[in-house]
Amino acid sequence: MPVSRATARPNPRERGSSYDICPRTPDRLVVEFGDDQVNHPTCPRLKRPTIVEGFAVLASRDYFKQAITVKNQRANDPCRYRKSEGLEQHFWCDFHRDFYMSVILRKKSQPIVPMKYIDWEYFENMNDPLVNAVIEKFEYKLRDLMGFKYNWNTEIICQFYCSLYYNERDNTIHWTTEGEHYCVDYMTFSCILGLGSEHEKYKPIHVEKRIKPADVAFMFFNPILAHEGKSIHLQPCYNYANFMMRWTIDPRKGDYTTLNFYAVNLLNRMAPGGRPFNAFDFMWNELRCVMDDSRKHLPYAPYIMYMIERVTKITFPKDVVHDPLHLRPRSEVPATASRHPGSSSTAPRVDDPPLHAPSSSHHRRSGSMVKRVLHVLVLLHVEDHGSRGQ
């Protein structure tokens, strides 16, 4: 469900609590640090928490798929109390440790959403009129954000999400890195990402009602298939735009073909006459949605990593490479790619296989099973009629 917004819009002229970190918005988004930036001596790694000698061991809680419990815990400011001495250095309280163990370390792969940056030069060299039309739709500040390349450290990102707290009074987020408390306000975070007050004049997305795919049937090849809400049915220009945003400002882990949450609202801003949208406000509210629900995956790792290093003034060794998003040109897509008469065979194709996308062999197996069941039912029906005739 949509997250409740702050009672007042952020004032671009008001100095937030972290104003000195980035007092002005850079003309272009580039990596820049001050002279007081230091390097972290080691590379933080994921590991199971150990027992601190001299303190009683408390039973841990499982927060996986406990959305209401997690939301109630996130509503409490942990930094009102002193850091617990019975925990390892990078945990502030029991909730941070338990969330780390039950959500972050639950599986071998962490719930961080894989992200790629847009290599705009690569797309321009494709010489595809549809791709060029999509590029023109993105305002230059948004292009800088989507093309921003920054590697990240998995442990630091997980520490951020374990300890994330939102203060609605001053519109700030708080977290801990290696056991130290930090915070950043809305406008400073926006300035760090090169957006700042200039984007505050654009309308936000999260105040809108979620648009259903059937309400924008003009985006699809076959309007009848719009109700399915699948990107494979989109016209090429909208398919390209959706694909670029799904790896950058609206990342999702799972079936990339599903148009869920605010994906259609974003595409509607790409339509003829569509108004520019406040990209940072969208990301800020997505962070607020994620922090209250342990079932959601953790997005925006490269942007968060850069912000953390600007605020903490510490550069951490990275263990994940931020790769570019490359698509195969339409001329390389095989003619058999079309799934139905009205589908788009010009859909963009990423170099990697789709995440958790159902395979065609699965459809063949399910289809043959249905045929076998129907065949058996027909035989039973014929035998029943034959026995009655005798």
3-state helix, strand, coil in the chain (%, to 5): 40, 10, 50
How many Å apart are CA 28 and CA 206, to the nearest integer?
A: 26
Six-digit token string for 289: 């949605």
pLDDT exceeds cutoff 60 at 235: yes
The pLDDT assigned to 368 comes to 60
Enumerate the β-bridge partners of residue 327.
350
Six-digit token string for 198: 């200039």
Query: Which is more confidently placed, 376 or 71?
Result: 71
pLDDT exceeds cutoff 60 at 352: no
Total number of residues shown for the chain: 390
Question: Among 130, 326, 345, which Cα is nearest to 233's?
Answer: 345
pLDDT exceeds cutoff 60 at 353: no
The pair phi, psi for residue 153, each rounded to 5°, is -110, 125
Residue-wise pLDDT tens digits, 53-64: 777 777 788 998
Q: What is the dihedral of CA 234, 237, 242, 243, to 10 degrees?
A: 100
The pLDDT assigned to 380 comes to 62
Place 120 in a pLDDT band, splitting at 50, 70 and 90. very high
How many Å apart are CA 111 and CA 264, to the nearest integer?
A: 24
Q: Which residue reads 């079932």 in tokens?
A: 295
Place 3 in a pLDDT band, splitting at 50, 70 and 90. very low
To which H or E segment does residue 72 belong? Answer: helix 67-74
Rg (CA), the chain: 25
How many Å apart are CA 35 and CA 333, to the nearest integer?
A: 49
pLDDT exceeds cutoff 90 at 118: yes
The pLDDT assigned to 242 comes to 93
Residue-wise pLDDT tens digits, 26-43: 887 888 888 999 999 999
The pLDDT assigned to 264 comes to 95
Six-digit token string for 199: 């984007």
Six-digit token string for 193: 């990402």
The pLDDT assigned to 11 comes to 58
Place 256 in a pLDDT band, splitting at 50, 70 and 90. confident
Longest CA–CA span in the chain (Å) reads 98
pLDDT averaged over every residue in the chain? 82
Place 2 in a pLDDT band, splitting at 50, 70 and 90. very low
What is the average pLDDT across 122-133? 91
The pLDDT assigned to 34 comes to 85
Taking the mean position of all CA atoms in its chain, how far away is CA 63? Answer: 21
Place 23 in a pLDDT band, splitting at 50, 70 and 90. confident
The domain limits of the chain are: 21-361
The pLDDT assigned to 80 comes to 87
Distances (CA, A) of 369 to 217, 271, 359, 365: 33, 42, 16, 6
Place 365 in a pLDDT band, splitting at 50, 70 and 90. very low
How many Å apart are CA 310 and CA 315, to the nearest integer?
A: 8
Q: Is 376 left (phi over 0), alpha (psi -120 to 50) or beta?
A: alpha
Place 46 in a pLDDT band, splitting at 50, 70 and 90. very high
Place 377 in a pLDDT band, splitting at 50, 70 and 90. low
Residue-wise pLDDT tens digits, 147-182: 999 999 999 999 999 999 999 989 999 999 999 999
What is the average pLDDT across 223-237? 91
Place 336 in a pLDDT band, splitting at 50, 70 and 90. very low
